[in-house]
Structure 1
Amino acid sequence: MKVLHVAETIRGGIATYLNELHPHQRTSLGAGNVHYVIPSGHRTDLVGIEDAEITEFGRSDRGVSGLFRMLVATLRAVHRQQPDVVHLHSSFAGLVLRPFLLLRRKRPRVVYCPHGWAFSRETGRLSHQVTKITEGILAKITDRIICISRDEYKEGVQAGIDPDRLVLVHNGISKHRPLLDTVSAIWPSDKTKVLFIGRLDRQKGYDLLTEAARALEDQVDVRIVGASVIGKYKDEGRALPSNVSLLGWQDRHQIEAQLEKADLVVIPSRWEAFGLVALEAMRAAKPIIAFRIGALPEIVEDGVTGVLCEPTSAAQLAEGFRRALKLDLPAVGQRGYERFRQLYDIEKTHRVLSQVYVDLGRGDHIRSRQQAELQSDSPNNF
């Protein structure tokens, strides 16, 4: 079996998802049978994947020209690779490519992972309805839609998407941490050390974090690993509080070093389909502070492995920090590590996803749903 992964952007969670999955897929499917179509500017985000396994396309923004280049690169890769399955990641790839793949005479099976429904984001009412209708129409020409959390699965059903096309495949990461870049592991501070990892945009709550940090300048020391993916976020240029440091993008080994020194990991997202950063924090035995949104209540147990705040605001995030500072943070982090070991292993993700591919190849529409039930055995924490 050959699988072609396509993404309009991978920086952040999708890159982590692909990096974690690749060794397992390459081993089970064989060298040369897993290929990727990604933006050329994000090539270095894929680690341990050979150039021969990657097709790149130029993209400077999310304009029509970049999406057209993605389309052309994908159709060429499909022609060369002749994949059995084309696995599309995130909304733009799903929107642009599914109609064109339908037109091919020898059509591969199409698997789509939204990594967060477009209609679940903060948008106006009209945009919300248009994206929901569009996803509903495109679902009818998609062989299987991978939902990475219970919350995403539930939202898909509520939006009217046929449950027979939805499969729950929880995200996972390796139990083994990458090597630490010890040069980056210097963080002198007498305050509680807080780490943020992610894009600087409205979704990820960068502005909420800086505002909350400003209210706690004498208690927390915040490091931000990340940058804008496309253009510059409107709040990125604002003066930072004295207790916030902006480090830019770092590689996996540098991030692990920052995690090692941190006392607490913050995920202040306004909406989040899953939040792989939460798993990385738990693997490093670090407590998490986040809002009670999306899949995060499935991952973080309030008061046990971290702190959940609501409603979504800078004031509530600051209050969440105050709650967290009263906890035994190392003990909370250790409980998070045990939860991670039990529930979020990438080998489990790989097994269930592989079964989805196999069932599609057989034309079996029932077994994939049974496999989804096996995958969805983690407890709800709502």
Structure 2
Amino acid sequence: MDNNQHKNRPLNVLNVAETIKGGIATYLDTLERLSADFNCHFSYLIPAAQADQLNAGRKHFHAYSRAGFGTLKLALAIVHQVRLQSPDIVFAHSTFAGVALCLARPWLGRKTKTMYCAHGWASFRDRSKLVTLLTRLVETGMSYVPDSVVEISRYEYDKNRRSGFSRNCTLIQSSVLDRKDAPRPQSRDDGHLHILFVGRLDREKGYDILLEAIRILQKTRPEYVYHIVGAPVLANLALEKLDAWNVRYYGWIDQAHIDTYYDRANVLVMPSRTEGFGLAALEAFRSYVPVIASNRGALPDIVEHAVNGLIFNCTASDLAEKLENLNHDTLKRYALAARAAYVERFSPVQFIAGYQKLFSHLRQLINQPTWRQHFLMQKDKR
């Protein structure tokens, strides 16, 4: 292989995640399916129990848990996998994997470059001021460790730039690939309003807000039907379920089948208390499904109020009010605008271009000679 061929060979990228259920699995699936566009070969170090969440051939597994020295164990698993695989780049996804990458970084070797994507910075979550301050200090320091940090939304990118984050932070707005089957607007008018929730059933995603809003609407809109896709990620999280004919739980659904549930829905609800981006909103938009989203995080940058959905103030009463006043004619108008927003603002075109530019930059860093190689080259010239 000559020098030019070596420089242009596919990059070997090891993706590392503590957990992938939900949005991270969708994100990794998008990377995998676009690997040829990036001239990359992706592999994955993920929990063995979640292997079925990702359709990829090069999967490796870890037994990480948050208990005890879990983060240190994940760092050791990263070092071990790097020594077995010798990847060009290690790409950590989410907070705990990012901390593990920072711990592992000194043992990865100079030629191995590192990337990190928080998929929603922890310091933006709904916590006490002291915890938020301490978390922000840690995350600011973490932004200086990897060779590149990927920001998934303009909202977080702008706030982090003002907060002193590293200039290695790059904005690559998240996206989802379009459906394989051609989506089409549907009337979805069978006498019921079909309301969909997709995500982790936890406080951060506002599952409790949704439950309270359903309780309110059961009195005023008993004809509404609720489709809840998802489950708790943490095994020790107690899950409250509503036992009613019109509240239906499906658990986790494979990405290959998720569009079936969007096709049943009139509207997607996202009552998140924090949201780094909100991939479910794009999944809805590409299927002509408008979104009712909280006014938290990046969601107001995606959902245009009274255009492709509605924004509410993250309370059950306001969510219930927004849902109670919906009608099919308004939703049909929102649905057309939702699909237009996906095509014009959130299709993968900019996502692909952003990663192509970033991987090109990292390729240049990888191909730079070490100080020893540089010294030998200068010696040969003499």
TM range (shorter): 0.7 to 0.9
Larger mean Cα displacement after TM superposition, 68-77 or 333-342: 68-77
User: Which runs of at least 4 in structure 1 moved beyond 6 Å after TM superposition?
Assistant: none
Name which of 262, 271, 281 aligns with 1:278.
Answer: 281
- The answer on whether the counterparts of 2:193 and 2:266 sit within 8 Å (CA) in structure 1 is yes
Structure 1 position 68, deviation (Å): 4.0
| Other-structure match for 1:176 | 179
Alignment partners' CA distance in 1, 2:248 and 2:190 = 12
Structure 1 position 188, deviation (Å): 11
| Other-structure match for 2:108 | 104
Partner SS state of residue 194, structure 2 = strand
Name which of 329, 351, 376 aligns with 2:353.
Answer: 351
Instruction: Give the superposed CA RMSD.
Output: 2.3
Structure 1 position 360, deviation (Å): 2.6
1:35-83: CA deviation from partner (whole Å, max 9, x where unpaired): 1111111111102x11xx1111124x42235434422322122112222
Structure 1 position 26, deviation (Å): 4.2
Alignment partners' CA distance in 2, 1:129 and 1:28 = 37
- The answer on whether the counterparts of 2:79 and 2:107 sit within 8 Å (CA) in structure 1 is no
- The answer on whether the counterparts of 1:24 and 1:347 sit within 8 Å (CA) in structure 2 is no
* TM-score, with length taken from structure 1: 0.85
| Other-structure match for 1:331 | 333
Q: For 1:130-209, what aligned pairs fall within 5 Å after superposition?
A: 130-162=134-166, 164-177=167-180, 190-209=191-210
Alignment pair present for 1:82 and 2:83? no
Count residues with an aligned counterpart.
349
Alignment partners' CA distance in 2, 1:16 and 1:301 = 23
- The answer on whether the counterparts of 2:275 and 2:298 sit within 8 Å (CA) in structure 1 is yes
Name which of 16, 19, 25 aligns with 2:26.
Answer: 16
| Other-structure match for 2:216 | 215
Alignment partners' CA distance in 1, 2:170 and 2:286 = 25
| Other-structure match for 2:270 | 267
Name which of 44, 61, 68 aligns with 1:64.
Answer: 68
- The answer on whether the counterparts of 2:76 and 2:104 sit within 8 Å (CA) in structure 1 is no
Partner SS state of residue 228, structure 2 = strand
| Other-structure match for 1:367 | none
- The answer on whether the counterparts of 2:38 and 2:355 sit within 8 Å (CA) in structure 1 is no
Q: Counterpart of 2:61 in structure 1: which amino acid? A: E
Q: 1:352 to 1:128 in 2, by over 3 A?
A: same
Structure 1 position 93, deviation (Å): 0.6
Structure 1 position 285, deviation (Å): 0.4
1:166-200: CA deviation from partner (whole Å, max 9, x where unpaired): 111011111224699xxxxxx99632000101001
Alignment partners' CA distance in 2, 1:56 and 1:26 = 24
Alignment partners' CA distance in 2, 1:244 and 1:77 = 44
- The answer on whether the counterparts of 2:38 and 2:352 sit within 8 Å (CA) in structure 1 is no
Partner SS state of residue 216, structure 1 = helix
| Other-structure match for 2:49 | 41
| Other-structure match for 2:122 | 118
Alignment partners' CA distance in 2, 1:237 and 1:354 = 44
Structure 1 position 84, deviation (Å): 1.8
Structure 1 position 154, deviation (Å): 1.7
Q: Counterpart of 1:191 in structure 2: which amino acid? A: H
| Other-structure match for 1:299 | 302
1:113-150: CA deviation from partner (whole Å, max 9, x where unpaired): 11111111112222212211111222222221111101
Partner SS state of residue 34, structure 1 = strand
Alignment pair present for 1:250 and 2:253? yes
Structure 1 position 256, deviation (Å): 1.3
1:278-329: CA deviation from partner (whole Å, max 9, x where unpaired): 000001100111111111111111111001112x210111112134337521
Q: Counterpart of 1:168 in structure 2: which amino acid? A: L
| Other-structure match for 1:2 | 12
Structure 1 position 343, deviation (Å): 1.7
Alignment pair present for 1:91 and 2:92? no
Partner SS state of residue 266, structure 1 = strand
Alignment partners' CA distance in 2, 1:138 and 1:146 = 12
Partner SS state of residue 217, structure 2 = coil
- The answer on whether the counterparts of 2:227 and 2:247 sit within 8 Å (CA) in structure 1 is yes
Alignment gaps of 5+ in structure 2: 1-10, 367-382
Partner SS state of residue 167, structure 1 = strand
Alignment partners' CA distance in 2, 1:331 and 1:317 = 20
- The answer on whether the counterparts of 2:211 and 2:242 sit within 8 Å (CA) in structure 1 is no
Q: 1:253 to 1:178 in 2, by over 3 A?
A: farther
- The answer on whether the counterparts of 1:26 and 1:34 sit within 8 Å (CA) in structure 2 is no
- The answer on whether the counterparts of 1:273 and 1:295 sit within 8 Å (CA) in structure 2 is yes
Name which of 48, 59, 73 aligns with 1:54.
Answer: 59
Alignment partners' CA distance in 2, 1:176 and 1:241 = 32
- The answer on whether the counterparts of 2:194 and 2:265 sit within 8 Å (CA) in structure 1 is yes
Alignment pair present for 1:313 and 2:283? no
- The answer on whether the counterparts of 1:189 and 1:221 sit within 8 Å (CA) in structure 2 is no
Percent sequence identity is 32
Q: 1:189 to 1:229 in 2, by over 3 A?
A: farther
Q: 1:55 to 1:298 in 2, by over 3 A?
A: same
Larger Rg: 1 or 2? 2
Q: Counterpart of 1:58 in structure 2: which amino acid? A: A
